[in-house]
Amino acid sequence: MTKKDTVKKTVKTSRVSETRVKKERPKVWTPPSSLDAPPAPDGYRHRWIRAESMGFDDTKNITGKIRSGWDLVRADEYPDGDYPIVDSGKHAGVIGVGGLVLARIPEELAKQREAYYQQMTQDRNEALENDVLKEQHPSMPINQDRQTRVTFGGSKKD
C-alpha cells in the first residue's frame, strides 16, 4: 500500500453549487379597500369627490368641484381595470362607489390651488397678529416673540 492509497480523497463542493432557497415572507391578509382607484396619468391627480350624501344628490359640491377644474373619470378610460362604476343617474359610467365619484385635475392647477390656500392662510394669520397689536395700550405693550423647539427627551442644555 502506498501513501497515496492511504490518504482519503476529500471532495469539496464549491459554495456556488450550494443553493439556498430564499424564504418568502408570508403574505399578510388585509381587508380590501373600497376606495381603490386607478393611478392618475402623468401630470394629473385623482381624488374622490362626494356626489351624494344620505341618498340625496350633492349637486352643489359636484358643480363647485367641476367649476374649479376637476373632471370626472370615466370607467371606459381604464378598460383593463375592475373598478366600481356608477350604473345609473347623471354620473352613469363614472368610476364611483358609495356616493363618491373619482375626479382628476391637472397637476399645474392643483399646485396653483395649494398656493392660493397657503397664501390665504398666511394672510389670515397675519391679520390675527395685527388685530391683537391694535388692542395694546402704550403702558402695557404686547410682546409676540414666538419660538418653537423640538427636543427628544433628556434635559435641556443651553
pTM: predicted TM-score of the whole model, two decimal places: 0.59
pLDDT tens-digit profile of 115-142?
A: 999 999 999 988 887 777 777 777 777 6
Q: Do residues 68 and 115 touch, judged by C-beta distance below 8 A?
A: no
pLDDT tens-digit profile of 1-55?
A: 555 555 556 666 666 666 665 666 778 888 877 777 888 889 999 999 998 888 7
Residues facing residue 47 across a β-bridge: 103
Residue 91 sits at the vertex; the CA angle it makes with 85 and 95, to the nearest 5 degrees, is 30
DSSP letters spanning 19-70: --PPPPPPPPP-PPPTT--PPPPTTEEEEEEE-EETTEE-HHHHHHHHHTT-
